[in-house]
Amino acid sequence: MSIARIIWKRECKAALRSPVAWCVFAGFTSLVSLLFVAALRAGDNTFEHLPAMFCIQVYLCLCIPVSLFTMRLFSEEKTNGTIEMLMTAPVRDVDVVMGKFFSAYTLVALSIGASFIAFPLYTNLANPPPAFSQDSLYGGIISVLLVAAMWCAIGTFISLLSRHQSVSAAATLVIVLSSAVAFTGNVPGFEFIGIFETIDFADVARGTLDSRMLCGVVSILIFFLFCSVRLLESRRWCNAMHR
């Protein structure tokens, strides 16, 4: 079993044993459901692109589980004083970063899965049942999962920078929420950035795959994971030189 997988399992088990994770699942699902109902009422019962409407609510609320599940990755190690053991352990930096990143991403994906309970619940209870495209639903789910991976990579990097979980969570929350709002289209304050005028997550959630957004998400994901590995590596060398 690889070191990254061991770290991933350890982090996931520790999080799932805590009531905080289950409170995040429940709170995230409730918030997404409330926003979805509000969006339906504001849309005057129009059901065009229903999956996209739901995925946008998930997308806008993702800042909560992402910030709460990534804030503890390295900040908690620093608070508990176990970061020194981690830095001196005979494990590769890439294994540590990838194990912690995938643990946070697994918990965020579970939050997304829990929130999607509201969608079939609504479609089964609605009278008459609304018609929607399955391809649009699958496209929206994939889009949300891809964006969540990118934001988890950013949260992992921020957790390495900060010693306090609250600071890490606040910084991640601001960055994730700002980028989420920017890519929902026609947002005041972002007109001067040309890319925001042409890329709209709502279009992607409707099943229109935008290669620019796909390449951007993957590039940012790889960039922040690379930066996290290099930052951890530099701190390991600094610790070695000071001993």
Q: What's residue 134's pLDDT?
A: 73
Gap between the Cα atoms of 145 and 105, Å rounded: 9
Long-range contacts of 17-21 (CB under 8 A, 24+ apart): 20/68, 21/69, 21/107
Q: What's residue 51's pLDDT?
A: 78
Q: What's residue 125's pLDDT?
A: 75
CB-count exposure of residue 185 (10 Å: 0-12, 13-18, 19+): middle
Q: What is the mean pLDDT of each run of 10 residues along the chain (243 residues)?
A: 82 87 91 84 61 82 90 76 66 86 93 86 73 74 87 90 83 83 52 45 60 78 91 69 50
Q: What's residue 190's pLDDT?
A: 39
Gap between the Cα atoms of 5 and 58, Å rounded: 28
Q: What's residue 119's pLDDT?
A: 82
- Pick from 29, 18, 116: nearest CA to 69: 18
DSSP helix, strand, coil percent of the chain (3-state; round to 5) = 80, 0, 20
DSSP class of residue 81 equals T
Could you tell me the pTM of the whole model? 0.83
- Pick from 183, 225, 184: nearest CA to 99: 225
* Alpha-carbon distance values, 61 to 27, 33, 35, 177, 233 (Å): 10, 11, 9, 8, 33
Residue with tokens 């926003």: 35
